[in-house]
Each structure stands twice: as structure tokens, then as C-alpha cells.
Amino acid sequence: MKLAIFDLDHTLMPMDTGDSWVRFLLKRSGRDPKPVHEKLDEFTRTYREGRIDIDEFERFQMQFLASFRRKELDQYMEEFIARWIRPNVPDGARTLVNRHREAGDITALCTATYSFVSRAVADVFGIDAVLAAEAEMGADGEFTGRLNGSHAYREGKVLKTRAFIEEQQRLGVRFDGYAFYSDSFNDQPLFDFIASLGGACVAVNPDETLRRIALERGWASVNSYDSSALQKALHCPEI
């Protein structure tokens, strides 16, 4: 049995799902969207440049959860998945996941997008586990708007993956192989960790830096969606 790990945004989905979720909530919050959109665009830019402040990013994203009651959020998430995620799931991305599911492998989503969002998207793909930042909840079950524990970005992904493997070992699960799929050079720490285990590294819709690294190291490179899927994902009527 292998462990197949997938990044989420621009690997399986042709969009930033966390940003899309925030924009989706903004439509229902009554807040002025302009400063929020500007901040989201700034985070996107610094992520692509490899210099994002991930703690600030997580705090910014999670504050919107505290603006709604959990019952409302659950309802909005159902709408978000039905209206925006399911219609935009690329066939190629589903094929990547299903190959491992059909082989009997354990699948995991390892993403900087916090788990309230990424767990819902993982369910669409039938992915087993989610390794992501957790939003803090109070004793009343409502979100506080704060991060609970650590993020899952760069080295944070390695820590969460290592912890998951160790947890599975305690449960008696032994993996005989590993694979990691991602689009971004920011995930090189996890690529390196998987490579150190003798696993397969697969660049999916890679950015230019990751494309170069994949060529240099002989990693596979694939596309999970085409330009038309990307253009469709940029124009959500709900956002």
C-alpha cells in the first residue's frame, strides 16, 4: 500500500480554493469587498514570489469564519461545494486521485488551505485524509477566527506528513511506497522529503521554477487541467 499525497490549489483544482471561499463569504457578509480582494491579491503575489507570511495569511483567512455562526457556515459550505467546486473539478485531477484509490492506496490532501475548506473539497475527490491548518473552535463549537496548531506550508507540510506517517505506523499501517503531486516550487521541502523515502515526485501544472527542478531531477510532469478550465475557474458568478 502506498501513500499518495496531493497539493490542492492549482494541482487538483484550477483555482485558489481558500481565496474563492473568502470571496464567496464576502458576498454574504455585507462587508466592503475591495480591501479584502486587494489583500487576497497581495497574498497571491507574495506566495508566487516565495515570500508569503503564512501566519498572517492564515489569520487573515480564518477571521471570516468568526463572522458567521457555525450553522450558517455549514450551509454556505454546502452551497460553495455544489455551485463552485463540483462544476470545476477537472477530469484530469480526478483521474490522478482515482488511480491511487483504485490501487488501494491511502490518499491525503496536504495544503496550506485550512481544513474547514480543504476537508470539504477532499470529500469531493474521495480523498482519505487532510493534512492542513486547523481553525480554532471555542467550547460552544463556534470558530474563534484563530489558528489552532501549526500551518501546512513549506516545512509545515513535511511536519504534518511525517506526523501522519508515524500515526499510521502506530495503527499498524506500513507504506511500501510514496508519491507527492504539486504545482509549486514552494512545496520543494515536501518533494525532497518524499524523494528521501524513495517516493515518486510528480510536478502537476508546474510553475516555471518547479518545471525546471523537475527536468533537472527527472521527475514526471503532467497537466491535470487545460487553459479553458483555468479561465472558467476565474469567473465564478457567486464571487
Could you list the active site residues? Answer: 7, 9
17: three-class secondary structure by DSSP: helix
Quote the Cα angle for 54-38-73, to 5°: 70
For residues 207 and 84, what is the distance between their CA atoms, to the nearest angstrom? 24
Nearest to 191 by CA among 168, 220, 233, 171: 220
Backbone angles phi, psi at 198, to 5 degrees: 80, 15
**Residue 61: CB atoms within 10 Å:** 24
For residues 96 and 235, what is the distance between their CA atoms, to the nearest angstrom? 25
For residues 70 and 73, what is the distance between their CA atoms, to the nearest angstrom? 5
